[in-house]
Amino acid sequence: QLVESGGGLVQAGGSLRLSCAASGGSSSTYVMGWFRQAPGKEREFVGGINWRRTSTYYGDSVKGRFTISRDNAKNTVYLQMDSLKPEDTAVYYCAAGTVAGGTVIASYRYWGQGTQVTVSS
């Protein structure tokens, strides 16, 4: 089970940190990813981190502004979001999969319920 938290309302230029707590299994055995979905739009890949924190990868729209990290001892993955823009407004989802470098929905098997992030201009 994946549970996201940390969403909320923030002004443009601000920061938020999302957390994804995993239970029922060790998150260290999975590739962890973040996706987002804005109203009327398809779910979009935000970023991912592989098993041993040795590499991260990001979608072009967030590269340089968002950072993913993981604490395997806490079974938690984080998404640090800086320099937020109104276009970052979306529901953010945490996901777990086994495909290294996966950037598509099909690469992830388990999903959280999502947390809303709203960026005001």
Residue with tokens 């309302």: 9
Over residues 57-113, the pLDDT tens digits come to 999 999 999 999 988 888 899 999 999 999 999 999 999 998 888 999 999 999 999
CB 86 within 8 A of CB 120: yes
B/e letters for 94-117, b = 16+ CB within 10 Å, e = fewer, are bbbbebeebbebebbebbbebbeb
pLDDT of residue 98: 87
Over residues 34-54, the pLDDT tens digits come to 999 999 999 999 999 987 666
pLDDT of residue 28: 62
pLDDT of residue 73: 85
pLDDT of residue 25: 64
| CA nearest neighbour of 86 among 14, 35, 19 | 14
pLDDT of residue 23: 83
* Rg, Å, the chain Cα set: 13
Torsion sign (Cα): 53, 33, 13, 9:
negative
Average pLDDT over residues 13-18: 98
- Model confidence at 27, pLDDT cuts 50, 70, 90, reads low
pLDDT of residue 26: 61
Cα separation, 17 vs 80, in Å, equals: 4
